Amino acid sequence: MSDPRLKSRLVVQALIRRAEVAGLVAMVMRSGDADAGAIALVLDRFGAGSRLFAQARDGDGRLVWAPADGGKPLDAPDLADRLERSTRRDPDLWILSIEDPKALFDPNGQG
């Protein structure tokens, strides 16, 4: 059995709240479908590049945040290109950016 699906708007709001509690700045860069839009999560590490995450199912079927592009840091032009292609493919896509210069934020809430 799969987990109940939360509306995308609620997932985004929860991520923003978690970032704020951690003392980080979070902003919606693009609003997608409030109910079922996919979410691209950008962790902006400033000089260390950005990490891009998308929701995926793990081996046990749980919904987790999986690193895109093999988890490698992306510079600003590569990130912009990746997000532009993603929004062309999926016009309902949300883009949430969290400023995380010290790599403190774990999107899966571990640790």
What predicted TM-score, i.e. pTM, was given to this entire model? 0.90
Distance CA 93, CA 104 (A): 25
Distance CA 52, CA 68 (A): 5
Per-residue pLDDT, 25: 97
Q: Categorise residue 109: left if φ over 0, alpha if ψ from -120 to 50, beta otherwise.
A: left
Give 54-75 as a DSSP string. Answer: EEEE-TTS-EEEEESGGG--B-
Per-residue pLDDT, 111: 46
Per-residue pLDDT, 110: 67
Distance CA 71, CA 14 (A): 23
DSSP 3: P
Residues of the chain where predicted confidence (pLDDT) is lower than 70: 1-4, 110-111
Per-residue pLDDT, 64: 93
Per-residue pLDDT, 4: 65
| CA nearest neighbour of 83 among 17, 35, 39 | 39
Distance CA 103, CA 110 (A): 13
Token pair, residue 88, equals: 């062309």
